[in-house]
């Protein structure tokens, strides 16, 4: 109960700080005025307690009330007579199904995989890059971290240009996330990528960004903005004109942008997917929980999420940070009944970019667990157990199961996260079966 209450408190605090304080035109001035209204009367009261006692007592309450009143007044425009809302742009979403790799990635052999067999979106990747570099122990770029950067400052400035729309839209999402069966929205610090992931990459620069920036500029970057009046909805901002998450493009083609490109500002933070094999050789594909923001009810990797900035603080290399984040996601999503799954071995296996989410970078890890499948329970807000898992105790059995998962139709569609992760695994099974054996079957 205490854990749930603390998460609600943090969610409210995070929402207020980001949408009310950071999106002010002059956030430093705004924060200073609130602080002065609270602090100055207290100081004066300390110097002359008899004359200022009532003012010192009321001032913090009045200052807090004024801040909260302004906050709710701006947020409640989401329900006003001329409210604005974001709506999916069907044409742009259709174009993302065939999104092209960035120029640098295409030159390095990256290709587009369009949705099929129920998958809901496309991704770009290179099987040879995964086999020759990502899964190779010798390839592990040094991590250069920027806790404060102009990248993030420019992202916040870009969000401020549509602050009212983002605030109103996010307020509805925020309220929905407070429902008992939903996962409350926390503005976690994320890891933005500044360096292109290519064969010659020896150092990777990252910067601290956050989850709400992704919601504003990536999730809503492919959506139109409508103004809803009494009897009509008027288009006021066409996503086809912005195409914000993507590189400049013409006509009916869109292309992913390089991570080294900083304009226009956008927050593309590093994601991580985990495919796992239990101690008793069961390869489970769970369903994404209905309490999450993306891919609700879809088939998903065993664990799926994104790196937190804290995953990077003690890491000196890219793979070290990815593995730290992967283990944390595994513990968060499969820590049901108070038991965290034990990891026997885990390695980074692949890399792909999520087309519909602006080319979000996704690393894929594989893990051999030290617990039987029946002894591992999910956090039900994150995922559910899904279909009966297949027993795969050899390279041949695993290859056959991956092919089945990619080719058959299922009741629930595949998330792009699962589709991309399985395609990465398929490529490594073909090109580097020794790598898979080392992680999954070395202890058999």
Helix (H) or strand (E) holding 158: helix 150-160
Rounded-to-integer distance, Cα 153 and Cα 328, Å: 28
| Those residues with Cβ within 8 angstroms of residue 376's Cβ, 6 or more apart along the chain or in another chain | 278, 334, 336, 339, 341, 369
Residue 102 has pLDDT above 90, yes or no: yes
Q: For residue range 285-344, what is the model confidence (pLDDT) as tens digits?
A: 998 876 666 767 788 999 999 999 999 998 999 999 999 999 999 998 998 777 889 999
- Of all residues in the chain, the percent with pLDDT exceeding 90 is 45
pLDDT at 350: 97
Query: What is the Cα Rg of the chain in Å?
Result: 24
Mean of pLDDT values over 202-213: 95
pLDDT number for residue 281: 96
State the average pLDDT for the chain: 85
d(CA 157, CA 146) in angstroms, rounded, equals 18
64: pLDDT strictly greater than 70: no
Query: pLDDT band at residue 181, thresholds of 50, 70 and 90?
Result: low
Q: Which of 25, 41, 35, 42 is CA-nearest to residue 67? A: 35
CA max distance for the chain: 84
pLDDT on residue 301: 94
Q: Is the pLDDT of residue 51 over 60?
A: no
pLDDT higher at 242 or 284: 284
User: What would the pLDDT profile of 228-282 be if each residue is shown by its tens digit?
Assistant: 777 788 887 888 776 667 876 566 778 999 999 888 888 899 999 999 999 999 9
pTM of the model: 0.89
What is the per-residue pLDDT for 54?
60
CB burial readout 134-153, b (16+ within 10 A) else e: bbeeebbbebebeeebebbe
- Mean pLDDT lowest for which of 43-47, 103-107, 316-320, 371-375? 43-47
Structural domains in the chain plus CATH codes: 2-76 (no CATH), 93-144+267-441 (3.90.79.10)
Q: Among the residues of 378-415, which ranges form H helices?
A: 395-407
Distance CA 15, CA 13 (A): 6
Name the DSSP letter for residue 245.
T
| Count of helices and strands (H, E) across the chain | 15, 16
Q: What is the DSSP string of 287-349?
A: EE-TTSSSSTTSB--SEEEE-BHHHHHT-SBHHHHHHHHHHHHHHHHT-GGG-PPPEEEEEEE
């Amino acid at each position: 109960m205490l854990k749930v209450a603390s998460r609600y408190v943090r969610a409210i605090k995070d929402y207020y700080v980001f949408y009310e304080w950071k999106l002010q035109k002059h956030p430093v001035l705004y924060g200073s005025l609130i602080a002065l209204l609270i602090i100055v009367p207290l100081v004066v009261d300390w110097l002359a307690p008899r004359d200022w006692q009532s003012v010192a007592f009321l001032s913090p309450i009045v200052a807090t009330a004024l801040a909260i009143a302004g906050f709710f007044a701006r947020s409640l425009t989401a329900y006003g007579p001329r409210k604005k809302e974001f709506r999916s742009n069907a044409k742009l979403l259709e174009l993302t199904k065939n999104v092209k790799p960035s120029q640098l990635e295409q030159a390095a052999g990256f290709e587009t995989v369009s949705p099929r067999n129920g998958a809901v979106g496309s991704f770009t990747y290179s099987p040879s890059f995964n086999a020759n570099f990502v899964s190779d122990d010798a390839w592990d770029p040094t991590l250069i971290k920027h806790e404060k950067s102009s990248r993030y400052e420019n992202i916040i400035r870009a969000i401020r240009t549509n602050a009212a729309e983002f605030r109103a839209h996010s307020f509805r999402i925020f309220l929905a996330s407070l429902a008992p069966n939903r996962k409350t929205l926390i503005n976690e610090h994320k890891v933005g990528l500044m360096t292109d992931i290519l064969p010659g990459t020896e150092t990777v620069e990252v910067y601290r960004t956050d989850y709400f920036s992704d919601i504003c500029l990536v999730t809503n970057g492919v959506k139109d903005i409508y103004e809803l009046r009494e009897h009509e909805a008027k288009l006021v901002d066409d996503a086809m004109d912005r195409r914000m998450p993507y590189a400049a493009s013409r006509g009916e083609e869109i292309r992913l942008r390089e991570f080294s490109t900083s304009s226009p500002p956008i927050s593309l933070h590093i994601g991580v997917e985990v495919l796992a094999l239990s101690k008793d050789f069961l390869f489970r594909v769970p369903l994404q929980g209905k309490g999450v923001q993306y891919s609700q009810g879809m088939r998903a990797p065993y664990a799926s999420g994104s790196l937190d900035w804290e995953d990077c603080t003690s890491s000196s290399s890219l793979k070290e940070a990815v593995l730290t984040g992967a283990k944390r996601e595994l513990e968060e999503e499969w820590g049901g009944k108070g038991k965290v799954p034990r990891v026997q071995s885990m390695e980074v296996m692949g890399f792909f970019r999520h087309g519909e989410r602006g080319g979000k970078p996704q690393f894929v890890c594989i893990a051999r667990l030290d617990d039987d499948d029946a002894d591992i329970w999910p956090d039900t807000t994150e995922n559910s157990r899904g279909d009966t898992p297949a027993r795969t105790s050899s390279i041949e059995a695993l290859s056959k199961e991956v092919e089945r998962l990619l080719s058959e139709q299922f009741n629930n569609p595949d998330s792009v996260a699962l589709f991309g992760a399985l395609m990465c695994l398929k490529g490594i099974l073909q090109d580097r079966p020794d790598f898979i054996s080392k992680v999954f079957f070395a202890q058999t």
